[in-house]
Amino acid sequence: MSAMKSWGRVSTMGLVAAWYSSNIGVLLLNKYLLSNYGFKYPIFLTMCHMTACSLLSYIAIVWMKMAPVHTVKSRVQFMKISALSLIFCASVVSGNISLKYLPVSFNQAIGATTPFFTAVFAYLMTLNREAWLTYVTLIPVVAGVIIATGSEPSFHLFGFIMCVGATAARALKTVVQGILLSSEGEKLNSMNLLLYMAPIAVVLLLPVTLCMEENVVGATLALARDDLTIIWLLLFNSGLAYFVNLTNFLVTNHTSALTLQVLGNAKGAAAVVISILIFKNPVSVTGMLGYSLTIVGVILYSEAKKRSK
């Protein structure tokens, strides 16, 4: 029995390590491609991610049976999934655009304010009120980002707006998903939801890519003629984007949603440190103090939420 327990602990630790590696890896690789490599096509990059998620989701669920297949039961449910896919696209595209202009450390600091936006949208859309202490814990979350923003050496207004938009869209998706797929018959696990959302995202992103990044295929082929590495980077990056979702699902299954939230906070801090070491972007002491304050606020928020249940 103890051998089984220790094996379960080891496998959970392995999954958490894989989730961390893929999550931080895709973030750093996105930054490298969009800022350092000279691949200036964030919408096309998102479309590559969604294409990989479509194909690999199908293989994982339909062929490898890693999760039971849930069918879409009605046109209404399909429309709900499409709405979620649109918000999901907005979040990922905005996040990738922000990485063109902002360092990963600052990007993660803004991203840590997701609980604030989630609480705001939950109140506006469902009139769901939290305990007053939960709202108090959001003060350091926002204050930390304000401090970090005021002292960020690489601040870029458009990048900042895109990053805030991405964070808000991420929170909106969580709330909308809770509202739209709340009935027992419509609930989908994250792997099945991705299986349906990713192809819809590709269809939505294709015309946007062609309009806003019209010469992307020609430019990518031109880059590939000079250096074939770009093709391998895009393939690896896209596969990694799916692996983030897969490991997220597996870690949630092995732990709990709350544990995942705590692990996510630590992951953000790890991404900040690793990105500063790799990209050597300038950071101020005040900025790091601001980000630390945000992380403390998020941890307090998680605790307050747990106690209010």
In this predicted model, what pLDDT tens digit does every residue of 53-80 receive, in sequence order?
999 999 999 999 988 998 888 899 999 9
DSSP state of 215: T
For the chain, where are the alpha helices, taking DSSP H only?
2-31, 42-58, 75-101, 104-111, 114-126, 132-150, 157-180, 190-212, 216-226, 229-254, 257-279, 285-308
Closest by alpha carbon to 268, among 250, 288, 295?
295
Residue 192 is predicted with a pLDDT of 92
Residue 161 is predicted with a pLDDT of 97
* Chain segment 169-222, per-residue pLDDT in tens: 999 998 998 888 877 778 888 899 999 999 999 999 999 999 999 889 999 999
pLDDT averaged over 10-residue windows placed end to end, the chain, 309 residues: 64 89 95 91 97 96 91 90 95 96 94 92 87 91 93 94 97 89 81 94 96 92 90 96 91 73 80 90 91 90 81
Residue 5 is predicted with a pLDDT of 63
Residue 38 is predicted with a pLDDT of 81
| Cβ proximity of 97 and 162 under 8 Å | yes
Q: How far is CA 234 from CA 88, 166, 195, 296, in A?
A: 20, 22, 21, 35
